[in-house]
Amino acid sequence: MNCSIQKAIFPYDRSTILNVIYDVVDSLGLTIRHVNSERGNLVVETEEGTSVRITVDTLFPTNSTKVGIADVQESAGELDLVFMDEMRSILNANYHKNTQAVS
């Protein structure tokens, strides 16, 4: 399977990023289908049934967090891009730090 993956590094701790992810899920009207906060894995789904997998990893010793968003069904269109854009918007509006895109 050849799914697209969006990645970014955010200069925030893991709990802040998880809170922002939950805010994005709410603002985009998505449903959480699976969550493992300890491992930093979530699967969210649209009303149409397409889903993306979100991974959250703490980067030591920088107190930054790497987020990866993968279109697991190759049918979510640009949901991964929209999700990442919404995360950046919420962070910029509330925290005012720059984020770094990763390939």
The CATH superfamily holding the domain 5-102 is: Kinase associated domain 1, KA1 (3.30.310.80)
pTM above 0.75, yes or no: yes
* Mean pLDDT within 46-75: 88
Residue 13: count of CB within 10 angstroms of its CB: 12
Listing DSSP states for 1-47 in one string gives ----EEEEEESS-HHHHHHHHHHHHHHTT-EEEEEETTTTEEEEE-T
Q: Look up residue 2 and give its two tokens.
A: 């050849």
Return mean pLDDT, the chain.
86
* Mean pLDDT within 11-15: 92
Domain ranges of the chain: 5-102
